[in-house]
């Protein structure tokens, strides 16, 4: 057993194989990269006093295991100590005065008043002030998230059904046509620009930077609970990295009745690339990403972004400061966070709501310019998505959208119309109420 340092307080230790598997499943640990017997894990470092108590209890178990070597003699904590996934299942919301986290159902109003959004008069935005995070400790700038909503049509009947959209990496919500389609199906449309993305980018904080996708739990939790106050049905619609994040969040919150269905648009469920990139290079980045999370490890080809934007021949108008064609630096800590999340999907999730996964029918080259940027997925590999989709839960529907782009909602008109029709048909058939 050893502690890695005063900043990275993760711990390598050994436990009986079944206990290691439990802690990995619940998000408190990951297998040691050189594990041979299933008894070696890396236990994540605590971030607050409550987590410290949990970590100390695991250390005590490991010491007992080392002394006795007998799994049945290892002192176990009561089952409730690890009945939840580590970060996503805890309520991370705290008041600005550092008072303890609020219990489920308690709402501390940290939302600003609504204002007209950049999408125009039909859309409103409001800011959610978040607690200081790891980036804030380095930059002294606290994070914010931004919730955008479509104003209902004046003659539309009131609805108590809502869809919450989560964007991907180097992305934000600029899809009013999606809101229009959902409104026609009887849903209010909301979109969350996560911290350091799109409308939530703040001076002094690096855009799109994270070392743990569970960091976004705070704003997703707060938003879903806000929506639940006025809606009987809430659906998560996640794209790319947002699809991966939505799946892990919903898995961590299963059994609580917070969401009624998931729709995943080209979710990033596996790492695209050659055998070398998926295995040797990914492992190297995984190792580097812990001690040196800010090291840039790759760049994003600009071709897909240029094919989308109206100033370079595309159909869509989006802010290039928020979604630049060449993206933002892809850092080792981010890649490590995504890879860890994908490994959790590979081990199988337990989503307890209907899930619709949609992807293009073909992969296009993701590093070079080509003529099929808007009729293939030129970011991810749909075959990988199709292989991983059944691992999300017991009720998963997978659909290929022929001719779809990476963001299916930004495909050519006939293709995106089919995508939106498949989404609304699925909601009509599978969502209660």
pLDDT tens over the chain, length 433 residues: 777 655 567 888 999 988 888 888 787 887 775 555 678 888 888 877 778 878 888 888 898 888 877 654 444 443 333 333 444 333 222 223 332 333 344 444 489 999 999 999 999 999 999 999 999 999 999 999 999 999 999 999 999 999 999 999 999 999 999 999 999 999 999 999 999 999 999 999 999 999 999 999 999 999 999 999 999 999 999 999 999 999 999 999 999 999 999 999 999 999 887 666 776 677 788 778 888 999 988 889 999 999 999 999 999 999 999 999 999 999 999 999 999 999 999 999 999 999 999 999 999 998 899 999 999 999 999 999 999 999 999 999 999 999 999 999 999 999 999 999 999 999 999 998 7
pTM exceeding the 0.85 threshold for the entire prediction: no
Q: How many CB atoms lie within 10 A of CB 421?
A: 12
| Cα dihedral sign, 55-56-57-59 | positive
What pLDDT is attached to residue 23?
87
- Strand order of the β-sheet with 2-3 is 2-3, 11-14, 40-43, 29-31
C-alpha distances in angstroms, 184 versus 124, 177, 415, 418? 19, 11, 18, 15
Instruction: Name the DSSP letter for residue 277.
Output: I
Q: Which residues contact 219 (CB under 8 A, 6 or more apart)?
A: 128, 130, 145, 192, 194, 195
Q: Give residue for tokens 């100590």.
A: 81
Q: Is 60 helix (H, G, I), strand (E, B) or coil?
A: helix
Domains and CATH numbers, the chain: 2-82 (no CATH), 115-430 (3.40.50.1820)
Measure the CA–CA gap between 388 and 356, rounded to whole angstroms: 13
Residue 409 near residue 265 (C-beta atoms within 8 A):
yes
What pLDDT is attached to residue 40?
86
Degrees, nearest 5: CA angle 131-137-140: 85
Calculate helix-pair angle for 217-228, 241-252, nearest 10 degrees.
Answer: 70
Measure the CA–CA gap between 231 and 188, rounded to whole angstroms: 9
Q: Give residue for tokens 């879903």.
A: 224
Residue 357 near residue 398 (C-beta atoms within 8 A):
yes
Q: In this structure, what token pair is assigned to residue 39?
A: 């008894």
């Amino acid at each position: 057993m050893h502690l890695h340092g005063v900043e990275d307080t993760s711990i390598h230790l050994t436990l009986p194989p079944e206990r290691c598997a439990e802690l990995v499943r619940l998000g408190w640990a990951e297998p040691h990269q050189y594990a041979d017997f299933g008894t070696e894990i890396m236990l994540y470092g605590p971030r607050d006093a409550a987590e410290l108590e949990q970590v100390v209890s695991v250390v005590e178990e490991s010491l007992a295991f080392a002394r006795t070597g007998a799994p049945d003699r290892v002192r176990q904590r009561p089952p409730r100590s690890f009945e939840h996934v580590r970060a996503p299942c805890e309520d991370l919301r705290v008041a600005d005065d550092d008072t303890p986290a609020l219990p489920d159902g308690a709402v501390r109003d940290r939302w600003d008043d609504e204002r007209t959004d950049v999408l125009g008069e039909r859309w409103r935005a409001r800011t959610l002030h978040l607690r200081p995070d790891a980036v804030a400790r380095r930059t002294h700038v606290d994070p914010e998230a931004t919730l955008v909503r479509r104003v209902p049509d004046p003659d539309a009947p009131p609805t108590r059904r809502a869809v919450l959209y989560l964007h991907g990496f180097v992305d934000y919500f600029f899809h009013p046509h999606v809101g229009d389609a959902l409104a026609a199906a009887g849903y209010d449309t909301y979109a969350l620009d996560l911290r350091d993305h799109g409308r939530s980018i703040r001076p002094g904080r690096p855009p799109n930077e994270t070392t743990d996708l569970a960091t976004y739990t705070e704003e997703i939790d707060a938003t879903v609970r806000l929506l639940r106050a006025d809606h009987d049905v809430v659906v998560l619609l996640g794209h790319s990295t947002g699809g991966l994040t939505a799946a892990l969040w919903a898995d961590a919150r299963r059994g609580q009745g917070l969401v009624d269905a998931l729709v995943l648009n080209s979710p990033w469920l596996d790492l695209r690339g050659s055998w070398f990139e998926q295995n040797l290079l990914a492992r190297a980045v995984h190792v580097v990403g812990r001690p040196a999370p800010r090291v840039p490890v790759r760049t994003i080809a600009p071709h897909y972004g240029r094919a989308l934007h109206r100033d370079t021949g595309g159909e869509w108008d989006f802010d290039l400061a928020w979604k630049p064609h060449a993206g933002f630096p892809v850092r080792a800590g981010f890649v490590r966070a995504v890879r860890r999340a994908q490994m959790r999907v590979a081990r199988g999730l337990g989503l307890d709501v209907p899930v619709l996964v949609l992807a293009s029918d073909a992969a296009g080259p993701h590093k070079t310019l080509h003529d099929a940027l808007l009729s293939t997925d030129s970011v991810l590999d749909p075959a990988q998505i199709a292989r991983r989709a059944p691992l999300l839960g017991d009720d998963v529907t997978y659909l290929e959208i022929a001719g779809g782009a990476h963001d299916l909602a930004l495909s050519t008109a006939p293709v995106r119309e089919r995508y939106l029709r498949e989404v609304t048909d699925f909601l009509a058939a599978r969502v209660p109420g």
